[in-house]
C-alpha cells in the first residue's frame, strides 16, 4: 500500500516529462509512470494536448499546458490563438508566460493587457502566470504579482527553470505580502522530495516537477 504522505504529496504536484522533444513512445512511458497517483495536474506541451487528453481523462487527471513559453515574447494575438487552441484541444489549465521583456522595460500596461486577453478566454482559476522569479529582484517579483492581479489572475508560477532554479525565499516573498489571496506554484529544478517539501513549507500551494518517481517512489 502506498505511503499516505506520498499520496498527499502527489495531490500538490504538477507532473511533467523530463525529456525535451519526447518521442511518442517516451510520452507513453511517462503516462504509464503516473498510474496509481492522483496529481494536481499533468503538464504537456501544446502540441501534445489533443493526444494526451483522452489518456489523462481516463486516469482522472487534469491537463495543463504552457502558453507563450519560454519567456512570453509573443504578440498578444499569438498568445490568444495559442490559448484558444489549447482549450479547444482539451487543456484544463494554462500556464501563461509573462512577457519578461515588456516587464523589465517598464511597459506594465502591455503586461496587463497581454494577460487580460488570455484570462478572458477561461475561468481565472484555470490560468497560472509564470513570472520568472529567478530573473527578478524581490521587489520586481512583488510588482509582477501586482500586475498579474490587475489582470484578474490570482495563481502565480515562480519560474519554469529556464533562468535558474526556484528557491524557497522566492515563495516566501510572495506569501509574506499576499498571504492566502494568491495561489503559488513553485517550478524550476525541484527534483527531490526534500526540495518539494521545502517549497510547500515555504508556502507554495503546488510544486511542478519532472521527477515524480524520485519524489513519490513507485506506486503499487
Q: For 35-66, how does the pLDDT look when each residue is reduced to its tens digit (9 = 90+)?
A: 999 999 999 999 999 999 999 999 999 999 99
Query: Using the 8-state DSSP alphabet, how is residue 98 labeled?
Result: P
Give the CATH number, domain containing residue 123: 3.20.20.70
Which structural domain range is residue 137 located in?
Answer: 4-216
Closest CA to 109 of 99, 118, 119: 99
Taking the model in full, what pTM does it have?
0.94
Q: What angle do CA 161, 40, 65 make, to 5 degrees?
A: 55
Count of domains forming the chain: 1
- How many helices (H) and strands (E) would you count in the chain? 10, 8
Q: What cell does 55 get?
A: 489518456
pLDDT, residue 1, reads 34
Q: For the segment 92-147, what is each residue's pLDDT rounded down to a tens digit?
A: 999 999 999 999 999 999 999 999 999 999 988 899 999 999 999 999 999 999 99
Q: Which residue has the cell 498578444?
A: 76
Q: Residues for the chain: how many in total? A: 220
197: its cell numbers: 517539501
**Closest among 88, 91, 116, 113 to 102, alpha carbons compared:** 113
Q: Provide the 8-state DSSP code for 80.
A: H
Amino acid at each position: 500500500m502506498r505511503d499516505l504522505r506520498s499520496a498527499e504529496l502527489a495531490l500538490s504536484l504538477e507532473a511533467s516529462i523530463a525529456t525535451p522533444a519526447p518521442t511518442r513512445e517516451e510520452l507513453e512511458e511517462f503516462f504509464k509512470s503516473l498510474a496509481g497517483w492522483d496529481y494536481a495536474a499533468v503538464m504537456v506541451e501544446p502540441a501534445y494536448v489533443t493526444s494526451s487528453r483522452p489518456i489523462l481523462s481516463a486516469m482522472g487527471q487534469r491537463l495543463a499546458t504552457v502558453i507563450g513559453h519560454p519567456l512570453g515574447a509573443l504578440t498578444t494575438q499569438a498568445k490568444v490563438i495559442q490559448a484558444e487552441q489549447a482549450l479547444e484541444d482539451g487543456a484544463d489549465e494554462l500556464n501563461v508566460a509573462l512577457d519578461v521583456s515588456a516587464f523589465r522595460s517598464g511597459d506594465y500596461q502591455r503586461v496587463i493587457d497581454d494577460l487580460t486577453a488570455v484570462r478572458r478566454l477561461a475561468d481565472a482559476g484555470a490560468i497560472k502566470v509564470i513570472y520568472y522569479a529567478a530573473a527578478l529582484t524581490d521587489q520586481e517579483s512583488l510588482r509582477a504579482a501586482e500586475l498579474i492581479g490587475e489582470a484578474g489572475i490570482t495563481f502565480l508560477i515562480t519560474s519554469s527553470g529556464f533562468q535558474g532554479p526556484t528557491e524557497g525565499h522566492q515563495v516566501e516573498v510572495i506569501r509574506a505580502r499576499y498571504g492566502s489571496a494568491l495561489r503559488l506554484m513553485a517550478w524550476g529544478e525541484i527534483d527531490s522530495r526534500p526540495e518539494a517539501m521545502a517549497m510547500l513549507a515555504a508556502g507554495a500551494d503546488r510544486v511542478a516537477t519532472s521527477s515524480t518517481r524520485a519524489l513519490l517512489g513507485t506506486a503499487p
